[in-house]
Amino acid sequence: MKKLCIAALAVLALTSCGDTSASTTTTVVSTSSVVENPSTFEYTMTIGENTGTDVVIEVIEGQTVELTIVNPDSHDDVHLHGYDLSTGAIDKGQAGVITFTATKTGEFDIESHETEKVVSILKVTTK
Ligand SMILES: [Cu+2]
């Protein structure tokens, strides 16, 4: 009996879906809440803690991005490929900063020139 009721409800649901007046109920809340926010995106990377090739930092084209990099274990020099920007020499435990506007879309390696390893990936997406 229960199965029959569910089947009957399904038929009713299908019927109402076919009704053009029900179109307002199909509105999907958009996932675009991240757009239209041109404010500065600030992110701090501590090498060995929240870094790795599996760490993707996603920003939106046009955003101002401020990346702060700390290497607690060594002096370093961190490079953002694609944008060809660098922190310059950073003393051990000190913060190096790269600030830029994300004008190019795509995925870019952020690399330590001390260890020659990718510390994170910057992903710039369109709005
Ligand atoms: Cu590099």
Task: State the pLDDT at residue 31.
Answer: 33
Task: State the pLDDT at residue 39.
Answer: 74
Q: What is the pTM of this model?
A: 0.69
Task: State the pLDDT at residue 126.
Answer: 92
Distance 44 CA to ligand 1 centre (A): 18
User: Over 70: is that where the pLDDT of 109 sits?
Assistant: yes
Distance 40 CA to ligand 1 centre (A): 24
Kindly state the DSSP code that residue 38 receives in the 8-state scheme: -
Q: 113 pairs with which residues across the strands? A: none
Distance 113 CA to ligand 1 centre (A): 6
Q: Identify the CA nearest to 74 among candidates 47, 98, 34, 37.
A: 47
Distance 27 CA to ligand 1 centre (A): 46
Distance 107 CA to ligand 1 centre (A): 14
Task: State the pLDDT at residue 38.
Answer: 55
Q: Residue 84 burial by CB count (10 A; 0-12/13-18/19+): exposed, middle or buried?
A: exposed
Domain coordinates in residue numbering, the chain: 35-125
Task: State the pLDDT at residue 3.
Answer: 55
At position 59, the amino acid (one-letter code) is: V
- Pairwise CA distance, residues 107 & 98, whole Å: 16
Superfamily holding 35-125: Cupredoxins -  blue copper proteins (2.60.40.420)
Q: What is the mean pLDDT of the chain?
A: 79
pLDDT in tens, 73-97: 999 999 999 999 999 999 999 999 9
